[in-house]
Structure 1
Amino acid sequence: MALPLIRVHWLNDSRAFRLLFLLEQLKLDYEIVSHRRDKNFRAPEELKKIHPLGRAPLVELEDRTSGKKKVLAESGYIFQYILTHFDTDGILNNNDPNTAEKVQYYLHYVEGSLQPPLMLEFILSMAKKVSGPFPISYLVGMVTGRISSKYSAGELKNQMAYVESEIAKNQGFLVGGKLSAADILISYPLMSVFDLGLAHKKDYPNISNLLDTLSTLDSYSSAKRKAESLGSNY
């Protein structure tokens, strides 16, 4: 049975890179529909025609015979669906049910536990850069600093320590000592933590080594070339 047409709705400067990385690793054919953020860094309204929330990435699956379409949203669910239905050669799927279950756990962990404090730290850092007259600028800095110190910075540090220890226990990867979809999904937030200066690679050698390993893969390089051709840098 022929696989459906896979259409990726791409948004520049988003977490969509991981989806290209996954599809390249699985050697799946797909199309990219590129969307651009507006002047306020928001996703364009046209994405709401694909999915009501208007977020990206989105995957549109089109039956090659009937033309019937299905839209997948939320990165963790998209990864889970693609692994279940399209990893026919077992490239990333694992026959060990315990190992496979662990991979599924991380597909939820990345978006549910790691991403929130990272996103909050990013928003707080942006708020600190907003210029304004004294004492407004001082008050903004004081409030954002307290939120960071009381919650998001400490929580992000906790999450990073957890990931660091998990990689140490699994021979350089998150699960089972080999590459899985969990490594691909978690790669972007981990890179972001370092790129934003929220942590230093020297303090997390296992995470740093994992990211170095991923960057040597042909699938990563291919995804990076496509992302850069669409106006995003990774």
Structure 2
Amino acid sequence: LLPNTAASTRLSQVNDHLTQPNSTDSKMAAKITVHWLEDSRAQRILWLLEELGLDYEVKRYSRDPKTLLAPKELADVHPLGKSPVVTIVEDGKTLTLAESGAIVEFIVERYGSNLSIPASSSDMQARADYLYWLHWAEGSGMLPLMFSIVFAQLPKQGPWLAKPLLNGVSYGAMSQFVLPRLKENFRFIEQSLAGKDYFAGGKLTGADIMMSFIAEGLESSPLPNDKYPNIFRWYNSMLERTAYKKALEKGGKNDLGRFT
């Protein structure tokens, strides 16, 4: 006999519903470890977990004092040896997750939807803003910041005899390419935050958490901070959050100035 298609579909939907994680149950059962590298984007993952009230462990790693690179031990956790990396043990299964945006999106959707603007939201603009800034932080926003670090380190890490040449290359790249892009980005953020307390939907979301590192980058950049009052109004309000302060106690404040 052929199966009743409608009945089979309903049964499949019921089974799917039963296997979906219950946010409260998953929160209680999950064992989360954050592989935290000093002066890195890992700090905002601690902030996220504190906002969600999740229990977690922190495994700390220090940078090489000369090269400022991550230690080789991180490659034992994830092949690329970068941070943040999060391991989650739930129902006997272990998940290793890298990339800040992926970590934030996964954890928010699984354990704390109050920090998202769901796809089902009737506010299309809020949903779009949430996704945009969540991904902008590691895309368009991060690229010139990374270039600023690379070109700042180039003369310091290069051969001694090549330093005059590397200084010239660094100065040219910073003045002609990097700083104009940074100014463009921060001007865009400044305008976007005009009259707003948060990046999306009028409430704290994962987008704010992702964008916090960009604000740290501005704070340690050569750009005059007083030109960006909206950014620092928003950023200072984030610094005052109880969860942010708790995360600092468990991790530590980033010193991005050491890279410049």
* Common fold: TM-score over 0.5: yes
On the 8 A contact 1:107/1:182 being kept in 2, the answer is yes
Q: How many residues align?
A: 225
Structure-1-length-normalised TM-score: 0.87
On the 8 A contact 1:60/1:70 being kept in 2, the answer is yes
Looking at structure 1, the residues matched to 156 and 33 of structure 2 have their Cα atoms a distance apart, in angstroms, of 37
Structure 2 match to 1:61:
88
Structure 1 match to 2:137:
110
Deviations 1:100-157 (A, max 9, x none): 33212212111111111011112222334569767x4332222111111221111111
Matched, 1:33 2:56: no
Structure 1 match to 2:11:
none
Deviations 1:192-216 (A, max 9, x none): 22223x2222100000101110011
- What is the aligned-residue RMSD (CA, Å)? 2.2
Matched, 1:93 2:119: no
On the 8 A contact 2:117/2:201 being kept in 1, the answer is no
1:178 corresponds, among 203, 220, 231, to: 203
Looking at structure 1, the residues matched to 206 and 156 of structure 2 have their Cα atoms a distance apart, in angstroms, of 35
Structure 2 match to 1:203:
227
On the 8 A contact 2:35/2:83 being kept in 1, the answer is yes
Distance change in 2, residues 1:42/1:86 (3 Å): same
Distance change in 2, residues 1:59/1:233 (3 Å): same
Unaligned runs of 5+ in 1: none
Structure 1 match to 2:40:
14
Looking at structure 1, the residues matched to 180 and 133 of structure 2 have their Cα atoms a distance apart, in angstroms, of 21
Looking at structure 2, the residues matched to 38 and 142 of structure 1 have their Cα atoms a distance apart, in angstroms, of 26
State percent identity of aligned pairs: 32
Secondary structure of the equivalent of 1:15? coil
1:192 corresponds, among 217, 241, 244, to: 217
Deviation, 1:46, is: 1.9
Distance change in 2, residues 1:172/1:133 (3 Å): same
Looking at structure 1, the residues matched to 133 and 241 of structure 2 have their Cα atoms a distance apart, in angstroms, of 21
On the 8 A contact 1:80/1:104 being kept in 2, the answer is no
Q: Which has the larger radius of gyration?
A: 2
One-letter amino acid of the structure 2 residue matched with residue 94 of structure 1: I
Looking at structure 2, the residues matched to 232 and 118 of structure 1 have their Cα atoms a distance apart, in angstroms, of 15
One-letter amino acid of the structure 1 residue matched with residue 201 of structure 2: G
On the 8 A contact 2:36/2:251 being kept in 1, the answer is no
Looking at structure 2, the residues matched to 189 and 233 of structure 1 have their Cα atoms a distance apart, in angstroms, of 13
Matched, 1:42 2:66: no
Unaligned runs of 5+ in 2: 1-21
One-letter amino acid of the structure 2 residue matched with residue 191 of structure 1: E
Structure-2-length-normalised TM-score: 0.79
Distance change in 2, residues 1:22/1:115 (3 Å): same
2:100 corresponds, among 54, 65, 75, to: 75
Matched, 1:159 2:171: no
Looking at structure 2, the residues matched to 45 and 154 of structure 1 have their Cα atoms a distance apart, in angstroms, of 35
Secondary structure of the equivalent of 2:190? helix
Distance change in 2, residues 1:68/1:128 (3 Å): same
